[in-house]
Amino acid sequence: MRATTLVQASADIVTVISLKTGDVYKRLEKGYSNDYSIQLGIVQDVLHNGEDTAITALEFASSYTGVEPKIKVFGTDSDLKLFAATPEEIRSHFEELQESANRAIKLAEDDLAKKRELAARVELAVSHATQQALTTPATNALDV
């Protein structure tokens, strides 16, 4: 029996050689359970003091509750696995994040409306109590 490879890995090798404010990137991130995810980000600033370098970036992650923006700071000793990204990739990702944010806002507004309605009912009950508008119901006592 002869075994052959059905799929051969091939990729163009692209190396990020410099970063500046406004550059977009993809970053490989390893999770706690050894799974990997791709984070998309935008470089906010590149700092250099002659010896050390720091990069600040804005990354966004979509979650059930909405959008989670994160400011990431990478130092000289950070082990970064960066890949070049295109503005189109970032735009499409951010459109999804914007939709997620809008859904989160709608859910929060609905929740706020329910809480306001509950607060109004409590206020009405307190108002009745302070105006002595509350009464004890009529009862009939039986001797046993």
Q: Where do the structural domains in the chain lie, given as residue ranges?
A: 24-130
Structure tokens at 24: 């977009």
46 pairs with which residues across the strands? 55
Give me the pLDDT at residue 138, please: 81
pLDDT tens-digit profile, the chain (144 residues) = 555 555 556 666 667 778 899 999 888 888 888 888 888 889 999 998 988 889 999 987 666 665 677 899 998 888 888 888 888 888 877 777 788 778 888 999 999 999 999 999 999 888 877 777 667 788 887 776
Output the CA torsion sign for 97, 98, 99, 105: positive
The reported pTM is 0.59
Structure tokens at 112: 């706020």
Q: Is 89 exposed, middle or buried (0-12, 13-18, 19+ CB in 10 A)?
A: middle
Per-residue exposure over 95-118, b if at least 16 CB sit within 10 Å of its own CB, e if not: eebeebbeeeeeeeeeeeeeeeee
56 pairs with which residues across the strands? 45, 73
